[in-house]
Copies of this chain bind each other. A is one copy, B any other.
């Protein structure tokens, strides 16, 4: 059992999902490719942690349900100590050598990033609004975890935007002096 498998089981706690759907939700906090998800789901099925249901309307679609054994190992995993989050961001390696770029190149680097994260902020603002619009208490509680993560994403993207603006003003000042 690798981390991805535990995460998939976690997500099935909220509701039964297809692999495709899991992929969408996952991108909020865990990079992965469909090839990895489908093979992981296959193994989880073999191991009896999930059951598979063929969707009625979509022939190709498979809906995965968590079994009792699955629930049990998720519960065990939840209390284990967390591995430190891992991040890899090649943009920052470029920032590392920003002092050697000309002002225009440095600006381009920062402005591309800024624009990207501004879009992200808008996207996540919309998504959190969707949650706010939910009136049903049970549905709202079911989505609590997703909402907390979404809100965190929004906060982080906002922080990225603020950093970009600050970094740009910092290099601008050095340029004029």
**A residues neighboring B (CB under 8 Å):** 3, 6-7, 10-11, 13-14, 28-31, 74, 78-79, 82-83, 85-101, 105, 112-113, 141-142, 144-146, 148-149, 151-152, 155-156, 158-159, 162-163, 166-167, 170-171, 174
Number of copies: 2
A91 to B82, Cβ gap below 8 A? yes
Q: Is the CB of B141 within 8 A of A28?
A: no
How far is it, in angstroms, between the C-alpha of A159 and the C-alpha of B117 when the chains are bound?
15
Q: Which 4 pairs of residues, A with B, have the shortest CB-CB distance?
A: A85-B89, A29-B92, A96-B145, A7-B93
Main secondary structure of the interface of A (DSSP, over half): helix
Chain B residues, Cβ within 8 Å of A91: 82, 85
- Chain B residues, CB < 8 A from A74: 97
Which chain B positions have C-beta within 8 A of A28? Answer: 92
A10-B82 in contact given A88-B30, A151-B163 (Cβ < 8 Å): no
A83 touches B90 (CB 8 A): yes
**Closest beta carbon of chain B to A151's beta carbon, Å:** 7
Whether the pair A142, B99 counts as a contact (CB closer than 8 A) is: yes
In the complex, residue of chain B having the shortest beta-carbon distance to the beta carbon of A147: B170
With a CB–CB cut-off of 8 A, which chain B residues contact A101? 78
Partner of A13, one of B82, B100, B152: B100
Contacts of A100 in B (CB 8 A): 13
Q: What 18 new A-B contacts, CB under 8 Å, besides A85-B87, A151-B167?
A: A3-B88, A7-B93, A10-B94, A11-B93, A13-B96, A13-B97, A28-B92, A30-B88, A78-B94, A85-B89, A85-B91, A86-B89, A97-B145, A98-B145, A99-B142, A99-B144, A148-B167, A155-B159
